[in-house]
Amino acid sequence: MNSHRAAFLTAVAMAGVSASLVLAGCGPQPGTPAPVSDVAVNSTAERTATLTFPASSTPSAPATGAVPASKVPAPSAKHVSPALKTFTFPDGHISFAYPETWTVRTVLPPAGLAGVEAIVADASGNELLTLANGVNAGCAGGPVSRQVFDQAAVPGMTAPNGTEPSFGFVAESTGNGDAYFMGLTDPRSLKEGDGVSSWCNLVPTANGGLFTRVHFNDPGFPNKGAAKAWMATEQYAQLKALILSLNYA
């Protein structure tokens, strides 16, 4: 699931800056694999309680870029309770829980843009997820055809206007194949059917906004059946649990 950080800035127009500085996840543009950077656990990470995740009886996908187009991991069969750590962004507001064998590093967005990015990698160093906190942006996209595979409320991230954002995993098509998106989103991005507005991973918060993007290769999956099969793996369960644990204090 390795991908360019630059790909994270390719589909959301940043307010008040050049139109070339945009954030991926709004519209059908999955990430592109890239070499893994050096990974270091942020000093704000700390041990916390455990959550129950289904464990795979076979090795999970090598990087959720997410699953290589030629392979789909076998469904999970066992359940384990891995120890977790908690990461909190430097401003002290948004936190999330993640498996203790994973790592989180923080970087500043390019060109002096607002906010801080947290990049989550698995035990092998594969970058799985990017979250950008405190950003000032808006989404840009067009009409798509969408199928929703999974969704769940994330009450810990209720927006200042009272909107409760949701975890979502979807496939979108514009006639040029399917693109896959997974992360935290406004419920409007989980409407199914033709002609709906494309995926937007901006969630407003009291300190600006939060973007989340699970990294997928291009293509992310050979077909929708393979995407559904990935949902039965440990990797999927852990990523979903991380997003569901997001909390604004």
The whole-model pTM stands at 0.72
User: Under DSSP, is residue 86 helix (H, G, I), strand (E, B) or coil?
Assistant: strand
Element (DSSP H or E) covering residue 241:
helix 234-244
pLDDT (tens, 9 = 90+) of the chain, 249 residues, equals: 544 343 333 333 333 333 333 333 444 333 333 333 333 333 334 433 333 333 333 333 334 454 443 344 455 455 566 799 999 999 999 999 999 999 999 999 777 778 999 999 999 999 999 999 998 767 777 899 999 999 999 999 998 888 899 999 999 998 888 999 999 999 989 999 999 999 998 898 988 899 999 999 888 999 999 999 999 999 999 999 999 999 999
What span, in angstroms and rounded, lies between the C-alpha atoms of 204 and 47? Answer: 28
CA dihedral 142, 28, 225, 175 (to 10 degrees): 60
Residue extents of the structural domains in the chain: 6-34+45-248
